[in-house]
Chains A and B, each alone.
Chain A
């Protein structure tokens, strides 16, 4: 295990940002923390990278204790935060050199590594340009390059593609997957984008400071209970009764459509349509997504909990005058 977390908790005054989380990450794994804003993802990352002192529990990163071996932990990890942490008044090169000095990277290794990484993130031709002139995507790419400059064992990415357009998001993921391939790097990331979580080897679903599910994306989806059939009939109430009687599936009405789960949707559908008693306006079948996983595990959609969490956050900030979990 390259990351071992045992009953880690963090509270800010009366707010329990992380109630209690335990998990382990294997070397070379892409491990994702999935959950709405305010669920405790960033707080957990901040504890793992020594920026926040845990209130309880323990965590080892690369075998080092985040409480007592801070320097060793810091040397083992690379970080890309939600907000940019570049010096915008310096050039890309100057930012990278500063980082190399800070981590005591020998000069010859430094220059070679800078060339490599700038090529990987496609910034080689802009290396002397001031970071101020960079787009959001370029900055994020530069931060990823910087986070990797000192050969970290684990790369922490806190919402690595937040606020970026879909094309840039895909590009960044291409880089990350390639880096994992080439460097055997362990990647720990947080996200609230479902499609992004699909890239992970394993996902921990976090809600209200607790891990409510942890497995491979496919297994999490399997646990939801098969494919999702959604239909609209002339009489939805009657449709629910018929489905429950004939197939023993639990059907629910939501937004004027009836949905239920069956083991193998594609095989199920032709027979179902043929023998259903009332005319159908529409039928779709799809495999469960991580959205469904979240709904299944928490009973809420991730978007609903987003609003919920934001309200809590605003209330918390107002109470404590902005001396929150940041910085």
Chain B
């Protein structure tokens, strides 16, 4: 048990250290969502106008863009495992008394810490977007981002267990990334999409992350109008988080199992 715990913090510490040491990744983590926001905001903003009463397109999209940033950062947990395997560092981890579970949890929590940093940076542009930022929103965002990030790093880590090479993994991630983003309600409200698309979206953990973050920013009223309906019931923020926690537990357990079995 102490080994798992130590593994978790040691590995996540290194992930954070690597992130801070690599300025390009830091800039990228901030710039990529910003570019999406600016381009899509400018492109669709005037076309679409208001999405719900009192919510314009940029205000609608901004929470989704935050979730998208969390997605790319979290999938990086998997990239990091593949890198370590390819450059040999994984062996240093594997022969240390850390436990395989500790290594996987450390990668997930490392991505989680980076995601929190990234979201904090993203919050700096709320005045430009025209979204109100208060203390309550920030307090709500922390658990949402943590749980969403752990669930999504589970996806990345699982993918990493199946891919030996960097190229193969990149391809798989590219293949996953766009469906995950476009089927999560980042750019359009899920409940206005055709039935078949709604059905797929509801299997996507990111959908609930987008919904939870949107409700944290826009309040439950706007959330109701735009929200996700599962079995005829519109998800509340707490239910979104609970469902994501289930996703996180399941995905991470499978990822840990796959990693331990392989290494």
CB within 8 Å of B: which residues of A? Answer: 49-51, 71, 74-75, 77, 79, 81, 83-90, 94, 98-99, 101-104, 146, 322-323, 327
A102-B6, A327-B91 provided; 8 other pairs, C-beta below 8 A?
A50-B95, A71-B3, A85-B92, A87-B87, A87-B89, A98-B10, A101-B10, A102-B7
B250 at interface (Cβ–Cβ under 8 A)? no
Q: A88-B87, A89-B21, A323-B164 are in contact. Are A99 and B92 (CB under 8 A)?
A: yes
Please, which residue of chain A has its CB at the minimum distance from the CB of B85? Answer: A327
A322 touches B10 (CB 8 A): no
Among listed B12-20, B42-50, B70-78, B209-217, interface-contacting one: B12-20
A89 touches B18 (CB 8 A): yes
State A75–B99 Cα separation when bound (angstroms). 12
B97 touches A71 (CB 8 A): yes
B120 at interface (Cβ–Cβ under 8 A)? no
Chain B residues closer than 8 Å to A74, beta-carbon distance: 95-97
Give the size range of B's interface with the partner.
Answer: 20 to 34
Minimum Cβ distance to chain A for residue B178 (Å):
28
Between A and B, 11 residue pairs with Cβ closer than 8 Å are A50-B95, A77-B95, A84-B87, A86-B92, A87-B87, A89-B18, A98-B14, A102-B96, A103-B97, A146-B92, A322-B164
A-B contact count (CB 8 A): 69
CB within 8 Å of A: which residues of B? Answer: 3, 6-7, 9-10, 13-14, 17-18, 21-22, 85, 87-99, 164, 263
Q: A87-B14, A90-B17 are in contact. Are A327 and B90 (CB under 8 A)?
A: yes
- Which of B6, B10, B17 contacts A94, CB < 8 Å? B17
A85 touches B96 (CB 8 A): no
Minimum Cβ distance to chain B for residue A8 (Å):
18
A89 touches B95 (CB 8 A): no
State A88–B7 Cα separation when bound (angstroms). 20
A103 touches B96 (CB 8 A): yes
State A86–B91 Cα separation when bound (angstroms). 9
Question: Which of B9, B94, B99 is most buried by chain A, counting CB atoms within 10 A of its CB?
Answer: B94
B96 touches A51 (CB 8 A): no
